[in-house]
Structure 1
Amino acid sequence: MDLDAYVAEHGGEWRRLEELSKRRRLTAAEADELVALYQRAATHLSLVRSRSPDPALVAWLSRLVLTGRNAITGTPSFSFHTVGRFFTTTFPLAVYRAWPWWSGVATAFCLVTFGLMGYIAANPEVANYFVSDAAIESLVNSEFAGYYSEFQPQNSTLRVWTNNALLTGEVLAAGVLILPTVYVLFTNALNVGLVGGVMIAYGRSDVFFGMIIPHGLLELTAVFVGAGVGLRIGWSWIAPGPFRTRGRALAEAAREGMLVALGLVVVLLISGVLEGFLTPAPIPMLLKDFVGAIVWMAFLAYVVVLGRKAAAAGESTALPEDLAEDPLPTA
């Protein structure tokens, strides 16, 4: 392919496409011309890439084709409809589809945690293998309860929100390798089981559960959802199922995983507000636990009701058509 001759032959068309793409108003004839030139330039770009991939020409044609596409289709704009659809359809549907995974994670986590908690409560000397007597005394008498009132409520909210978002992001992203997510979950189960067992063994179970439940139900559920979705991503390339390649299965599962991660940011913000403002509030613990349980059940109902409704209606987690990327024409 004689690149200089090719540029000389089609350079006029490309310059005309560049000119039309910059105009804010086009006549009907110019709009038709723009579409035709865009299609031809896309074909030219494909040919240059395959036969004579000159970096400078490929870069210029790529920019030209992108500019032409934007001139034809327009650039996506912010839409409250898209945001509303995300929270009423896309997010609950993605979480609902993954419910066997995150409910399995929740079940396994609770079995390990409460098993450890019960064993340490019955055998408090076991805790000395992990922490000293002085640390146990401090934890039981002041440290556990004092942790939730150590910072101002707004500062505590921001702190736990970012920490929990990081943890959830870790178990979701690491799920593609499976074992790292299992390890992170186990270490957290060990920590909660150890602290809970010590508090129960020393007669402070009311403080432990009273301070954990208001925010912990929603917070842990968000972590379970993130971990379950992450493990689902990992399993997608191990067992992609019929009629799908491993790459396609992984891409589809990962895409839904990113949508879930985005929605969990809001869920974890709510749990952070509960931990920052409700947990240390000077009100009866039963009332705090009741409020926390109501918020948690509301989230589960939100996922189940809207997710099941979207699934029954055949909804998709795909982007709306007006935000989807148009394929490049090849002829």
Structure 2
Amino acid sequence: MDIDSYLATNAGAWSRLEDLTRRAGRSAGDLSPTELEELVALYQRTSAQLSYARTRYADAALTARLTRLVAGANAVIYGRRSTSARVLLDFFRWTFPVAVYRSRRFVWVSAVLMFLPAVLVWLWLIGDPVAMDASAPASLRRDYVRNRFEQYYDPGAVFFTEVTTNNIRVTFTVFGMGIVLPFLGPVLILLLNGMSVGEVAAWMSEAGDGWRFLGFILPHGMLELSAIVVAGGASLALGWALVAPGDRRRGDALREEGRRLMVVVLGCAVMLIASGVIEGFITGSGLPVWARVGIGALGWIAFIIYIRTQGREATALGLTGGLGERPRTWDDELTLDDLVLDATTSSVATPSLDA
């Protein structure tokens, strides 16, 4: 059977599964027993068709659609069994890394938008005394280099709280700008942050303290700036879904990327807490520069490995980065009788319009 015939034959069943999943609202108790039996049967059938379609047709659009259908139905059927601990574990094991991994192309764009302006501004200011003086008066630059820069990194719990709160605020600003001004908002924030980093780097280089600058920035900055770049990448993906949704309907693309962006921002908030710990207790400590930078580098490398390994594995399992997703395991299997009993109980407690 060619792909067009395959699509025509199964379109009705897939639309029905999508409708049942949407009406259930991620809870099997909202369906009547008959509809629940139908949902389970369609879910099992579509899961098998997903595996078949991947090997038989290798069509990206078809695979993406079936993946979304299976993931949505899976959340309806199995989501109610998740405990808070399991949800948290699944979030960091599967949901967050696959959300970042699926946005990786936009993360690269985000990195360029942030770090290229930083380098260009640094080169411009150190090579142009007039521009350097225009960026800030010489007295202010000297005061910043000699006093304010290092004093900022005062080790302790209070400083940790302040910097963590500020960093999370920046990340949520990227998130908010991605919603209010899709694509343009994140671009502006990334450019401005990169220019600010380049400006401070130029001031420190002018005073001959470039290495001291790196010694204080790199320990926490590798993880901190990575979090901002990752959040920026997910925001760019949301904006791009509005411009070029691909084979998805524009509304579906925006919902999918919006859910993924929320996951990324929540995960990045945890990254920034870890960065704040390093900034509050390691960056300004009396440890040698190599030790401080080494600790930051280990955290950054661990993050890269984590996203790459877990993200690739979750992608291979068909996960998309939506909250509540997890791979199906034998431990999750429910008998049809259990599902119907649960729906019947829910229908008795709360009369259903679908019954």
Residue 79 of structure 1, CA deviation: 3.1
2:104 corresponds in structure 1 to 99
Q: Which amino acid aligns with 2:264?
A: V
2:224 aligned with 1:223:
no
2:336 aligned with 1:312:
no
* Contact persistence 2:116–2:194 (CA under 8 A): no
Which has the larger Rg?
A: 1
Measure the CA separation in 2 of the matches of 1:88 and 1:77. 14
Q: Give the paired residue count.
A: 257
* Contact persistence 1:148–1:276 (CA under 8 A): yes
Residue 276 of structure 1, CA deviation: 0.4
2:253 aligned with 1:249:
yes
Residue 175 of structure 1, CA deviation: 1.9
2:354 corresponds in structure 1 to 330
* Contact persistence 2:177–2:185 (CA under 8 A): yes
2:216 corresponds in structure 1 to 211
Q: Which amino acid aligns with 2:316?
A: A
Work out which of the residue numbers 153, 156, 162 in structure 1 matches 2:165: 162
Measure the CA separation in 2 of the matches of 1:253 and 1:157. 32
CA 1:245–1:129: 2 relative to 1, 3 Å: same
Measure the CA separation in 2 of the matches of 1:183 and 1:74. 38
Unpaired runs of at least 5, structure 1: 1-34, 40-72
Measure the CA separation in 2 of the matches of 1:125 and 1:198. 13
Q: Deviations over 1:146-169 (max 9, x none)?
A: 1111xx511111111111111111
* Contact persistence 2:227–2:272 (CA under 8 A): yes
| 1:330 match: secondary structure | coil
Residue 104 of structure 1, CA deviation: 1.5
Measure the CA separation in 1 of the matches of 2:92 and 2:79. 25
* Contact persistence 1:214–1:293 (CA under 8 A): yes
Residue 122 of structure 1, CA deviation: 2.5
1:294 corresponds in structure 2 to 298
Work out which of the residue numbers 224, 236, 240 in structure 2 matches 1:235: 240
Work out which of the residue numbers 110, 115, 119 in structure 2 matches 1:110: 115
Measure the CA separation in 2 of the matches of 1:130 and 1:74. 54
Residue 291 of structure 1, CA deviation: 1.1
TM-score (norm 2): 0.67
Residue 125 of structure 1, CA deviation: 3.7
Q: Deviations over 1:112-170 (max 9, x none)?
A: 10121122122344221121111011012111111111xx5111111111111111111
Q: Which amino acid aligns with 1:179?
A: L
2:176 corresponds in structure 1 to 173
* Contact persistence 1:217–1:292 (CA under 8 A): yes
Residue 77 of structure 1, CA deviation: 6.7
* Contact persistence 1:98–1:228 (CA under 8 A): yes
